[in-house]
Structure 1
Amino acid sequence: MAAPVLLLGLLLIASAATAHDELPHLELPATLDSGPAHGSDAPQGLMDIMSVSGCGRFAALVAATPNASDIFEQRVVAGGGGLTVFCPDDKAVAGFAPTFLALADTDRLNVLLHHGAAGRYVRAQLAGFRWVAVPTLAVADAATGEAQTVLVREHNGTMRLWPTWPAESVARVRKTVDSSSEEAPLLVLHVIDAVLLRKKLDGAGGDGAAAAGACSGRLGWLHMCIPVWVVLLWVFVVIVSFFAGMLMQSWWGSMKDE
């Protein structure tokens, strides 16, 4: 029976090699607060930069949601550590606005904070990895303080984002604005073409419908979306290998008898 097991092992290794390219993965730790900072100390141009870059509707949601603007702005003050915003463009936010307004207050804040990350993440930092798990300002577990993450990949001049894993690509970066300098805020703005939503929102108003069916036609297993045809192929190979092994044993037994 060693032959079927060996053949199955080789198939699994080959499938894994085919499904993943050779670039490494990088999971970044959440950036710790460098000290207390207050939104009132932040440069007044933060929302303006977002607006003139093509995501004024998102900036308006941030400004209108309690605590959201303070959390964003405290990152661009002196000692705040910098801020990266994955900023949905006006078209994306216009289509999402009715859903956003129907969310519970906690979910509204989490959705907005899921688009921000502490620190500056420019495209050049991401190019050497298959994907980078960027911790956002949203908290996934209130008990541990673990941050929600967004998977980011820069490949062949296109930057893609996944709000959850496993999931399909739901957003692309249309342009990047790096307003960082010695005088200006430490801000990197990636304008994206979709709102990033996790599969499940904690508040009563969220249903996570935008991310439903991400693995449609696939099996979510071992943190991967495995196509059903691959699983069926594995099963087929196991069955064929089993009977082939039995035939080999029978043949070998008859050869010994002779």
Structure 2
Amino acid sequence: MRLSPQIHLVASGSMGISLTDPYDCNCWLIETGDGLVLFDSGAGRDANEILSELSRTGLDPADLRHIFLTHAHADHSGGVAPLFASLPQVVSLHAGWEAASRMRSNDETRISLDTARRFGVYPESYRWHGAEVDDVLEDGETRQIGSATIELLETPGHSADHCAYLVTLEETRILISGDAVFAGGTVILQDIADCSVSATLASIRRLEALSFEVFLPGHGLFALRDGKRHVAKAAGFAQKGLAPPLLA
């Protein structure tokens, strides 16, 4: 789904617009002029559906060159291994240091998948596979890929490995927020060991201090104009030490 000349939504599950597999997060694709860049990879139950969405949008899956992960939860990272297996070309995987460690471990307990299964979030049959991360970014580090400048921002809270990305694409500044904050200023807080209310509020305050126009979250609706209003709404709660409402 083409949202602008260079921004596409190529996966979205039941917590979004049901574009692909129900367990997929929102996966955002950016055309850079030097290959396609994908942010997050979905759950991996049907990676070919994501590649088919690229083709329907008029893009060539062979032009996919980079995947950046916001965090290693299965709905965001489970598609990496299947995508790598489906594509003939080499695709570079980028992530923050803690997400990279979890991906390399191939340990489902480190991404709380065992807990998610126990709560019925994923079926018992679902299996996740990690992957080797080619490029580990520190907080505030940037990568220049064609016309896109991509900055990693550590935003723990939803999980300890969570990061967001601030993308500058020519004249446009884009926040890819992952699961740090969603449309309407909502959040997801879960009963897992590394989810923290205090860290969530600190990350929201950090994001609210940024300047950006486009807001692309990991689930639900997005905004191509005045996207900062969604983060500002969450920050109104955070500034009072209160958790924002939960994403329904």
Q: TM-score, normalised by structure 1?
A: 0.25
Q: Which has the higher contact order (CA 8 A, sep 6+)?
A: 1
Question: Which protein is richer in helix relative to its size?
Answer: 1
